């Protein structure tokens, strides 16, 4: 949700490249990873030598030269925009590091998740997506795209499934007025996860204010009781508590407004907060995150807001075949269903289960879920 008129959304779909396409993709992944690691090494070496960072565009020009260097012609097998996009990703990784949002960029391994991004020249039709160099790949669009597709990211997960994530840009006002339905899982790692696959983070400014709040709480606890300094610290803390509450309310207001505008029916867990508060790890996150307030806002803004009672564990049930994974622990972010072999993102799977839950009164209508 960038500026006031434009908003971005990502749509994630499973794709099924054939054997030949998988081989082409493997080349793209491998060459892109090489370029990322080469870029990182070049940046490090440049900094070591000159004491200052290399210009991003200078690095991109070096890549073009590298492709014409004897011994590196094989780089031409990969889509050139995919390779250039990898350097943009590297630059973003550096920006995140400089702005303290992430650690220092690391070399990519062939063992991890593989990712490439197409900034252009992809196409869609009924049940296929066209990727340059790869061709038309079978896809399952379980949910229609809205807005203007800007980039497509292809991912191969560690367990060998393929996904595309389509980043779309849309005018805030041209968004559909409350159509379709969505399930929302309120998470710990992200503020909320939607059954469409979108993960919503608390905004950066809010996280910073919350960090400051924690700092002030620690400072207060160190001050001597009855001292003037303690009174000063207490006031400062009280002001920050209020500031955070306002910021959180603004964030929830905007998010609930956007969701209610886009979806007709919103399904959300009916959190048994009292029950959950017995679990010590969850307690802090729940009381801090404003989930209760978010639920109330959705209830009065959405055309139809349904609270789903969690009579079965939505995280542990496979949204495709219904298998219950009793071994799943809180720290498992991804899991593979032993029964149907679908690979799940824990929170997206939970959100899809919430969407599929029959609500009281409604006669158990099920929405078929084909992937993710």
Tell me which residues are annotated as active site.
185, 269, 347
> Stretches 85-93, 194-202, 214-222, 315-323: which one binds Zn ion (CB under 5 A)?
315-323
Q: Is 334 in the site for Zn ion (CB under 5 A)?
A: no
Instruction: Give least dist CB 95 to Zn ion, A.
Output: 39
**Site mask, Zn ion, residues 257-296, x = CB under 5 A?**
----------------------------------------
Closer residue to Zn ion (CB): 277 or 340: 340
Please name every residue paired with 137 in a beta bridge, in sequence order, or none if there are none. Answer: 129
Instruction: Give least dist CB 85 to Zn ion, A.
Output: 34
Q: Is 320 in the site for Zn ion (CB under 5 A)?
A: yes
For Zn ion (CB under 5 A), the number of binding residues is 7
- Interface residue with Zn ion among 318, 354, 355, 372 (CB under 5 A) is 318
**Residue carrying structure tokens 């992944």:** 29
Query: What span, in angstroms and rounded, lies between the C-alpha atoms of 74 and 319?
Result: 42
Contact 254, 301 (CB under 8 A): no
- Going by the DSSP 8-state scheme, the letter that residue 312 receives in this structure is S
Angle among Cα 139, 145, 129 to the nearest 5 degrees reads 30
Instruction: Give least dist CB 294 to Zn ion, A.
Output: 30
Closer residue to Zn ion (CB): 66 or 369: 369
Q: Is 340 in the site for Zn ion (CB under 5 A)?
A: yes
Query: What span, in angstroms and rounded, lies between the C-alpha atoms of 172 and 3?
Result: 10
Q: Is 323 in the site for Zn ion (CB under 5 A)?
A: yes
Q: Is 159 in the site for Zn ion (CB under 5 A)?
A: no
Q: Is 25 in the site for Zn ion (CB under 5 A)?
A: no
> Judging by beta carbons within 10 Å of its beta carbon (0-12, 13-18, 19+), is residue 317 exposed, middle or buried?
buried
Contact 107, 34 (CB under 8 A): no
The backbone torsions φ and ψ at residue 10, rounded to the nearest 5 degrees and listed phi first, read: -110, 135
Instruction: Give least dist CB 117 to Zn ion, A.
Output: 30
> Stretches 182-190, 322-330, 343-351, 360-368: which one binds Zn ion (CB under 5 A)?
322-330
Cα–Cα distances (Å) from 330 to 26, 197, 253, 281, in that order, read 33, 19, 29, 10
- Interface residue with Zn ion among 83, 233, 259, 337 (CB under 5 A) is 337
| 114-118/148-156 β-pairing | antiparallel
Closer residue to Zn ion (CB): 32 or 318: 318
Contact 255, 293 (CB under 8 A): no
Q: Is 321 in the site for Zn ion (CB under 5 A)?
A: yes
> Stretches 21-29, 164-172, 241-249, 314-322: which one binds Zn ion (CB under 5 A)?
314-322
> Stretches 65-73, 109-117, 295-303, 311-319: which one binds Zn ion (CB under 5 A)?
311-319
Closer residue to Zn ion (CB): 184 or 320: 320
Please name every residue paired with 148 in a beta bridge, in sequence order, or none if there are none. Answer: 169
Instruction: Give least dist CB 339 to Zn ion, A.
Output: 5
Three-state SS at 106: coil
Q: Is 302 in the site for Zn ion (CB under 5 A)?
A: no
Q: Is 164 in the site for Zn ion (CB under 5 A)?
A: no
Contact 353, 323 (CB under 8 A): no
Q: Return the closest-CA partner of residue 289 out of 183, 198, 166, 206.
A: 206
- Going by the DSSP 8-state scheme, the letter that residue 172 receives in this structure is G
Instruction: Give least dist CB 307 to Zn ion, A.
Output: 26
Instruction: Give least dist CB 175 to Zn ion, A.
Output: 33
The binding site for Zn ion (CB under 5 A) comprises: 318, 320-321, 323, 337, 339-340
């Amino acid at each position: 949700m960038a500026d006031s008129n434009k908003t971005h959304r990502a749509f994630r779909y499973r794709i099924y490249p054939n054997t030949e396409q998988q081989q082409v993709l493997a080349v793209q992944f491998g060459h892109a990873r090489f370029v990322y690691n080469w870029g990182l090494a070049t940046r490090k070496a440049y900094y070591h030598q000159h004491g200052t960072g290399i210009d991003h565009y200078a690095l991109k020009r070096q890549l073009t030269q590298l492709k014409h260097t004897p011994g590196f012609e094989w780089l031409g097998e990969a889509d050139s925009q995919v390779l250039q996009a990898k350097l943009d990703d590297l630059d973003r990784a550096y920006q995140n590091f400089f702005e303290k949002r992430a650690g220092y960029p690391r070399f990519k391994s062939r063992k991890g998740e593989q990712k490439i991004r197409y900034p252009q020249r992809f196409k869609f039709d009924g049940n296929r997506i066209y990727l340059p160099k790869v061709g038309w790949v079978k896809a399952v669009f379980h949910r229609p795209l809205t807005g203007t597709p800007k980039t497509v990211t292809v991912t191969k997960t560690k367990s060998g499934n393929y996904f595309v994530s389509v980043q779309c840009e849309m005018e805030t006002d041209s968004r559909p007025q409350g159509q379709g339905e969505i399930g929302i899982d309120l998470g710990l790692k992200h503020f909320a996860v939607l059954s469409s696959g979108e993960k919503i983070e608390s905004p950066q400014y809010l996280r910073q204010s919350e960090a400051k709040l924690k700092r002030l709480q620690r400072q207060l606890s160190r001050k001597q009781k009855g001292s003037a300094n303690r009174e000063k610290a207490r006031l400062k803390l009280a002001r920050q508590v209020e500031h955070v509450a306002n910021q959180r309310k603004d964030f929830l207001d905007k998010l609930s407004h956007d969701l209610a505008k886009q979806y007709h029916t919103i399904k959300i867990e009916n959190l048994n907060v009292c029950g959950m508060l017995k679990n010590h790890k969850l307690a802090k996150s729940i009381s801090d995150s404003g989930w209760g307030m978010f639920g109330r806002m959705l209830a009065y803004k959405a055309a139809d807001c349904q609270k789903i009672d969690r009579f079965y564990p939505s995280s542990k049930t496979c949204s495709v075949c219904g298998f219950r994974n009793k071994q799943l622990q809180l720290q498992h972010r991804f899991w593979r269903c032993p029964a149907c072999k679908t690979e799940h993102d824990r929170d997206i799977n939970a959100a899809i289960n919430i969407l599929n839950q029959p609500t009281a009164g409604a006669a158990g209508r099920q929405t078929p879920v084909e992937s993710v």
